[in-house]
Amino acid sequence: MSDQEACPKCGAPLSPISETPTGRKLQRCSTGSWNKETRQSEGCDYVKWLQVEPQALDEKCPKCGAALVMQVTRFGKKMKKCSTGGWDAAAKQATGCDFVEWINGSSEPLDITCPQCGDKLVLFTTSSGKKMEKCSTAGWDAQNKAATGCTYVRWLKPGEVPVGNNGEEHLPPQE
Ligand SMILES: [Zn+2]
Ligand SMILES: [Zn+2]
Ligand SMILES: [Zn+2]
């Protein structure tokens, strides 16, 4: 760790690493501070943003076959990208493989009947990894900004697995 790193602007030591609500990490100059009354920063305004390390995934790039990594953007959004992909700052252009897949949450069909309407449920995983069972008829009307279809939702506790409500006899035999 380089906590004692000096500010490139004024030479004062940098403050300890702090984290934003979206998971970004930064270090401010220790002589800088935010004045709530004048709504201006006082002292040195140097801020060093720390790179969030991409996380290696056990998945292959569908374009080139190299390993994929999970990257978190400056705004806390997650994406899978090809580990060979990069950015040439001097030439201002992407290098290597350009495969990127944004993680907006995913859903998979469940063999569970909705207790509200009798239709099938789906397992929805949010971009932050939370899981919920929701009705497959549920939707979102972007024009009217209103939910459509059935409103049944059940959040799963961490580690909980959805269980069918149609009886164990329908499950495949255990090996
Ligand atoms: Zn400084
Ligand atoms: Zn690739
Ligand atoms: Zn339903």
Ranges of the chain with pLDDT below 70:
1-3, 21-23, 73-77, 105, 127, 164-175
pLDDT of residue 76: 58
Closest ligand by atom to 33 CA? 1
State which residues have CB under 5 angstroms from ligand 3, the bound ion.
Answer: 114, 116-117, 119, 135, 150, 152
DSSP codes, the chain: --TTPBPTTT-PBBPPPEE-TTS-EEEEBTT-EEETTTTEEES---EEEEPPPPEEEEEE-TTT-PEEEEEE-TTS-EEEEETT-EEETTTTEEES---EEE---EEEEEEEE-TTTSSEEEEEE-TTS-EEEEETT-EEETTTTEEES---EEEPPTT-----SS-GGGSPPP-
Closest ligand by atom to 86 CA? 2
Full-model pTM: 0.41
pLDDT tens, 81-103?
A: 999 988 888 888 889 999 988 77
Enumerate the domain spans of the chain.
1-50, 55-102, 106-160
What's the gap in Å between 81 CA and the centre of ligand 2? 8
Closest ligand by atom to 121 CA? 3
What's the gap in Å between 135 CA and the centre of ligand 3? 4
